[in-house]
Amino acid sequence: MLILTHRYRIYPDATQEQTLIEWMEICRSAYNYALREIKDWCLGRKCLADRCSIEKEYILSPELKFPNEIQQLNNLPKAKKEFPRLGEVPSQVLQQVIKQVHVGWKYFQERGFGFPRFKKFGQFKSLVFPQFKDNPVTNLHIKLPKIGVISINLHRPIPAGFVVKQVRILKKADKWYACILLQCDVSVPDPVPHGHPIGVDVGLEKFLATSDGVLVKPPKFFKQLQSRLRVLQGRLVRKKRRSKNYEKQRIKVARLHHQIDNTRKDFHFKVAHALCDSGDMVFMEDLDYRTSAKGMFGKHMLDAAFGQFRTIVKHVCWKRGKFFGEVDARGTSQECPECGGEVRKDLSVRVHDCPHCGYKTHRDIAAGQNIRNRGIKLISTVGQTGTETACADDLPGIEVTQSRQVSKSPKKRATRKPKP
Ligand SMILES: [Zn+2]
């Protein structure tokens, strides 16, 4: 099974845009209602049965069952009679909203933290159409239930043999996109380690350094556009919230953010392809870059978006049949790639100069060579299985999930598991 996601720009006309925005608002209220039910159920069971809470009391029948996914889905038709507004949205889209609540809930249960939050006005930005009887996409239009045909810019054709499984309508700034999930019934073998290996070290001074000695300068998109962003943002805070002028200004800010995002992603893809051109196996560190984003260079770490870059490299490698592996990142900059001896150096030392064997090179290149060495060791000891990580489930286009947080042992006391 091969699944790809293609994102296309769509151009709804004024009425269609109005409808889509209205649907999103209705879905938002359904989302919040479903979450409220769950939250009330939890609060009603917070304190023991024989005593009262000092702050507030939730009185719910003890027989009340946990509002699980199936129950909430079954309640939708009843709710539609009470709130006819819900009937405006295609029912499958509405069902997806309930499913979304429970995905968040399940995730919270597993991790033990991160209770799902209510969505504020304007925070609900996408609609999922999960099923299509026949192909909704033609060269010029995409046909969606209840809303009709919307013009689409099919900048790349849908590959032969693929069927449209799902369409997600996405709003970014004032632009609209359709993320189309394509599926094909072929099995693709995972890339096997072979050929020329390269180790890639990423950093702020040099965006990346490979073991072959290639250095790529860091792009400073954010810095370039930052002064402009500051001006726009400064104008925004002086506007009255929810007013017309506020909305106009908000869109200007959102567009700029969107532009930065696009430029950065484009750069990442180009570099990733350049990497695949120069080698057959790519190794990177398994760092969680979000910890370093909290430090002194936080803004620049976020600007470079190393996490996204790694995901993109992974995807490009998979697409081009190159092997991708992640290696242990500990001390890659403190080791000599030639003799393996320890060479202590702090951040200000930019040259690797080994006192044991006399090997001398750029600091980041040495780190890249260490990563390469570790990668080769990894595939020779572990074998191919277990290290293969290339996959395409969250790529490209739609929200790149930033969930690299490792789940700690969930606190049993704080979050009680609901009995279904
Ligand atoms: Zn050495």
Determine the distance separating the centroid of ligand 1 and the alpha carbon of 361, expressed in angstroms: 11
Residue type for 314, please? K
Residue found by looking up tokens 């060269």 in the block:
139
Same domain, 292 and 389: yes
Rounded Cα gap, residues 199 and 209, in angstroms: 8
Strands 2-11 and 175-184: antiparallel
Q: What is the mean pLDDT of the chain?
A: 85
| DSSP designation for 137 | B
* Cβ contact 394:3 at 8 Å: no
Residue 360 pLDDT level (bands cut at 50, 70, 90): confident
Determine the distance separating the centroid of ligand 1 and the alpha carbon of 373, expressed in angstroms: 14
pLDDT, one tens digit per residue, over 170-217 is 999 889 999 999 999 888 888 888 889 999 998 888 889 999 988 998
What are the contacts of 345-354 at 24+ separation with CB within 8 A? Answer: 350/205
pLDDT, one tens digit per residue, over 114-129 is 899 999 988 999 999 9
Range of the domain at 231: 197-400
Determine the distance separating the centroid of ligand 1 and the alpha carbon of 353, expressed in angstroms: 8
Same domain, 175 and 293: no
What is the number of alpha carbons within 13 Å of residue 57 lying toward its C-beta?
10
Check pLDDT > 60 for residue 402.
no
CA distances from 208 to 12, 95, 362, 378, 389 (A): 40, 44, 12, 22, 21
Residue 356 pLDDT level (bands cut at 50, 70, 90): confident
Determine the distance separating the centroid of ligand 1 and the alpha carbon of 371, expressed in angstroms: 15
Residue 156: strand, helix, or coil = coil
State both tokens at 215. Answer: 């250095």
Same domain, 201 and 291: yes
pLDDT, one tens digit per residue, over 106-163 is 999 998 888 999 999 889 999 999 999 889 999 899 999 999 999 999 999 999 889 9
Same domain, 93 and 201: no
Determine the distance separating the centroid of ligand 1 and the alpha carbon of 215, expressed in angstroms: 21
Same domain, 177 and 243: no
State both tokens at 237. Answer: 């805070």
* Cβ contact 9:78 at 8 Å: no
Residue 118: strand, helix, or coil = coil
Determine the distance separating the centroid of ligand 1 and the alpha carbon of 335, expressed in angstroms: 8
Same domain, 164 and 286: no
Residue 95 falls inside a structural domain? yes
Determine the distance separating the centroid of ligand 1 and the alpha carbon of 281, expressed in angstroms: 24
DSSP collapsed to 3 states, 67-88: CCHHHHHHHHHHHHHHCHHHHH
Residue 419 falls inside a structural domain? no
Residue 352 falls inside a structural domain? yes
End-of-domain residue from the set 184, 208, 225? 184
Residue 191 falls inside a structural domain? no
Determine the distance separating the centroid of ligand 1 and the alpha carbon of 342, expressed in angstroms: 8
Residue 148 falls inside a structural domain? yes
Of 32, 254, 50, the residue nearest 121 (C-alpha): 32
Determine the distance separating the centroid of ligand 1 and the alpha carbon of 202, expressed in angstroms: 22
Q: What is the pLDDT of residue 2?
A: 87
Same domain, 139 and 166: yes
Determine the distance separating the centroid of ligand 1 and the alpha carbon of 271, expressed in angstroms: 30
Same domain, 12 and 160: yes
Determine the distance separating the centroid of ligand 1 and the alpha carbon of 230, expressed in angstroms: 47
Determine the distance separating the centroid of ligand 1 and the alpha carbon of 143, expressed in angstroms: 63
Determine the distance separating the centroid of ligand 1 and the alpha carbon of 339, expressed in angstroms: 4
pLDDT, one tens digit per residue, over 209-266 is 999 988 998 877 767 788 888 999 999 999 998 899 999 999 999 999 999 899 989 9
**Range scoring the smallest mean pLDDT among 75-79, 197-201, 366-370, 388-392:** 388-392
End-of-domain residue from the set 149, 184, 219? 184
pLDDT, one tens digit per residue, over 262-316 is 998 999 999 999 999 998 999 998 887 777 767 777 777 777 788 899 999 999 9
Q: What is the pLDDT of residue 57?
A: 65
Same domain, 177 and 202: no
Residue 331 falls inside a structural domain? yes
Q: What is the pLDDT of residue 382?
A: 59
Rounded Cα gap, residues 390 and 322, in angstroms: 9
Q: What is the pLDDT of residue 404?
A: 44
In angstroms, how far is CA 39 from the centroid of its own chain? Answer: 26
Of 7, 361, 333, 255, the residue nearest 343 (C-alpha): 333
Residue 83 falls inside a structural domain? yes
Determine the distance separating the centroid of ligand 1 and the alpha carbon of 377, expressed in angstroms: 18
pTM over cut 0.75: yes
Check pLDDT > 80 for residue 91.
yes
Neighbours of ion ligand 1 (CB under 5 A): 336, 338-339, 341, 354, 356-357, 359
Determine the distance separating the centroid of ligand 1 and the alpha carbon of 354, expressed in angstroms: 5
Determine the distance separating the centroid of ligand 1 and the alpha carbon of 208, expressed in angstroms: 22
Q: What is the pLDDT of residue 222?
A: 67
Buried b (16+ CB within 10 A) or exposed e, 344-360: eeeeeeeebebeeeebe
- Domain count of the fold of the chain: 2
Residue 79 falls inside a structural domain? yes
Same domain, 88 and 161: yes
Same domain, 163 and 234: no
Same domain, 179 and 203: no
State both tokens at 211. Answer: 């073991």
